[in-house]
Amino acid sequence: MSLTKRLAEAIDLSMLHPTLRETDIERGCRDAVYWGVASVCVLPCWVRFASELVNDSSVAVGTVVGFPLGGNETSVKAFEARRAIQDGATEIDMVMNIGFMKSGRFESLLDDMKAVVDAAQEVCESLRGKRAIVKIILETGYLEKDEIVRACELALASGADFVKTSTGFGPKGATVEDVKLMRSAVGDRMKIKAAGGIRALQQAIELLDAGADRLGTSHGVAILLEAQRESS
């Protein structure tokens, strides 16, 4: 597999900045289809629009829940997930409740995660006959190492598919150190998404080599163009 293809299949092309216009979403979705990336990740208000644009391609549509702070009440997060799936999303990136983690409210944190997982799966299986992909965003920049490990364990117990480093709006983005720690915590039982501050080819390669399965980045096209130049 070429480097460009390896990267494309790992990239979730993020379009989450609040000032993005309809034309930006349209351009990003067309780029996503052209390059064959794993998914586009858009704000909930753009899910239906993005789903129409990538229809009949291999590109999935993902969106965010409880974004970007994670403090929404659990039933609200579950509603967000259901509505997103109804609108066409098949991937949900949910921000965990960081305050629950810091407070040691692990049972509440697990319930929060599981409510979103269950809501997404119920609707996706009903509408499309397949599972949704749910990623739990830890926002590692706020966490100590032992909290990252505990959050990974809870995410695994919730039935989620991925643990994810960051929203891109927190105090720190993806690091090789955090990805390695998360991989050691979940082994091969979950996948890992690195996100936040991924702007260059070498950085993307290092995160994949550290154990990331997906890369969330708004710089996906630039990274793919750099990879293509490297390969030529």
Indicate which residues carry an active-site annotation: 93, 164, 193
Q: Are the C-beta atoms of 194 and 214 separated by less than 8 Å?
A: yes
Cβ neighbors of 189 (< 8 A, separation 6 or more) are 156
Helix (H, G, I), strand (E, B) or coil at 166: coil
Q: Which of 17, 113, 120 is nearest to 68 (CA)?
A: 17
Residue with tokens 């829940």: 65
β pairing state of 162-164 and 191-195: parallel
Distance (Å, whole) CA 178 – CA 212:
10
Residue with tokens 């990623």: 135
